[in-house]
A and B are shown apart, each in its own frame.
Chain A
Amino acid sequence: MSEFGFGGDVVTGRTVRVTVPVAAFNDLDAIQRVQRDVLGQLGCEACCSGWDIRFELARQFVVDEQLTVRALGPLVR
């Protein structure tokens, strides 16, 4: 089991069976501390008739190879 909660083991010569708990798709994110449920990923968005900030939040957590958070230009697109 890795530090991210993954597990893997060799099943056949070149095939590897890997187990990934679905929560890891949220939890392994070492930079973005926002813990979210699946709201919006599956069902209808809640009735928000205003500005959706999920894209802005996603843009804030991209870092370069030196682990520096990169400014990505104007937020509104």
Chain B
Amino acid sequence: MNLPDLGVGLIHQPGLEPLLEAGHDLLDVVEVEPQTFWSRTDSGYRQRTETMALLERMPQRKLVHGVGFPVGGTHPPDPAALGPFADTIRRLSAPWCSEHLSFNRVDDGGRELSTLFLLPPVQSPASAELAAANIRAVQRLLPVPFAFETGVNYVRPQAGELSDGAFFARVAERANCGILLDLHNLWCNERNGRQPVLDVLAELPLDRVWEVHLAGGQELDGYWLDAHSGPVPEALMDLAAEVVPALPAVRALIFEMVPEQLTSGRVALPELLTQLERMREIWALRARDVRPAAAPGRPAAPPGTIELPGPGEWEIALAGAAAGREMPGDLAGTLRADPGVGVIRRVVDQVRAGRVVDGLRYTYRLVVLTRGEERFLELLDSFRRATGPELLSADEVAAFGAYLLEHAPDVPHLADTVALELAALRARADGTDQTVRVGVDPLALLAALGAGRPPPPLAPGDYRTVIQPS
């Protein structure tokens, strides 16, 4: 595969602009996650034009990394999502693109449910064939070569499964595609009891590795999480210095971090710049005539004497266990008892909490300031148990708003606050004015909540409020 050499880069997310600016001379490439700035329309998805324009103006080369249509499950990628994904690739002239070898949707009696988390497929030959077929189908619809990302996996290995490395290798070879080697994911897996990173690498076709991801993480309940929460741990950086020079086809080395860590001041800019410099040093270690590190002979395929669940059966059981649903069967019981699945459950709950306070920040404050935080947490817990997560944040935020209106009618000004915030989200999504009628002065209501104070006594009135996109 004749791909251009891109260099060291950073994932792009709104909020990381200070790092992009300060690290301008250290960054050769910016990797875009297009679904993060999409909103849904009746006919598909709409991209934020201002975000696209900003990306097009950046001087660095671009890569496009999907976070919305993983290729490891029984749900094939949504064609409605692939169109705008391909459009982003063309507009940014990305030389290749990538997605995750995971699944994020399951069938529940004919209804499609989101898992809100990229869950790992069962590592069987049948599952590898399924993923390879998905990738081949995707490749036919995309204008550039495709690589899958090696995923984090908090679930214990199941008896009879292919090893992590053997599974990745089989998918890559059957699909004839590239590999995005996420070293932090593999490092998490090793720390959490799965196959050691170097053993995984020994089983991979290293000439298919086009890109490497690095990130930081944190601990939760004894597990190391792929939290993208800060600088790359020193031990992982050392490992990257060992691995990257042995990758004959690697073309990009990308750092991932969630922007909230920077915008909140939890991670300082100078620390990140020092790290980018270290990544450039590692990048410079590559030799053009390097050959894959001498690997032990690839292990033979497992004997196949242990019957593994089919991909669909695995998905239903794991998604159910991750959502805390009681389901019959040995597999569901095994997964429910897996502490790694418990970690997934906690992480998903926290993402859902983050979504609702992000989308309804004034409503959150209203409930806390007038009824106390314990009440808010009770409502949030009951909402999460009563409903499954939505694929898109806006849908989940709207569902939580509706849930509050039904279950917390005693909160003063709740209907007005929810209506204003949901209208603001619609204005952002559609780019059009949104009109909403509220029963008190919205300026006084929002100003108080914005300052973190309970609303003062407000006289009733009829306020036709126009929310303007800006």
| Chain A residues proximal to chain B, CB less than 8 Å | 2, 4, 6, 8, 11, 14-25, 28-31, 34-55, 57-59, 61-63, 65, 67, 69, 72-73, 77
**What's the minimum C-beta distance from A34 to chain B, rounded to whole angstroms?**
5
Pairwise interchain contact B468-A63, C-beta atoms closer than 8 A: no
Known interface pairs A22-B427, A51-B225. Does A42 touch B393 (Cβ–Cβ under 8 Å)? Answer: yes
Give the size category of B's interface with A. Answer: 35 or more
Q: Could you say which residues of chain A place their CB within 8 Å of the CB of B229?
A: 50-51, 53
| Chain B residues proximal to chain A, CB less than 8 Å | 11, 13-15, 33, 35-39, 48, 51, 65, 67-68, 100, 116-118, 149, 151-152, 185, 217-218, 220, 225-229, 258-261, 263-264, 266, 347, 350-351, 353-355, 357-359, 361-362, 364-365, 368-369, 373, 377, 391-394, 397, 420-421, 424-425, 427-429, 441-443, 446-447, 450-454, 461-470
A-B contact pairs, 24 of them (CB 8 A): A8-B443, A15-B462, A15-B463, A16-B462, A17-B465, A19-B466, A20-B424, A21-B470, A22-B424, A22-B427, A30-B452, A31-B450, A37-B51, A38-B428, A41-B359, A42-B37, A43-B37, A44-B68, A47-B118, A50-B225, A51-B218, A51-B229, A54-B358, A72-B368
Q: CB-nearest residue of chain A relative to B185?
A: A49
Count A/B pairs, Cβ under 8 Å: 234
Q: CB-nearest residue of chain A relative to B446?
A: A28
In the complex, the 5 A-B pairs of residues with the closest C-beta atoms, listed nearest first: A50-B227, A37-B14, A54-B354, A50-B225, A52-B354
Q: CB-nearest residue of chain B relative to A37?
A: B14
Pairwise interchain contact A51-B350, C-beta atoms closer than 8 A: yes
Pairwise interchain contact A20-B450, C-beta atoms closer than 8 A: no
Q: Could you say which residues of chain B place their CB within 8 Å of the CB of A6?
A: 442-443, 446
Known interface pairs A4-B450, A17-B466, A52-B347. Does A40 touch B355 (Cβ–Cβ under 8 Å)? Answer: yes
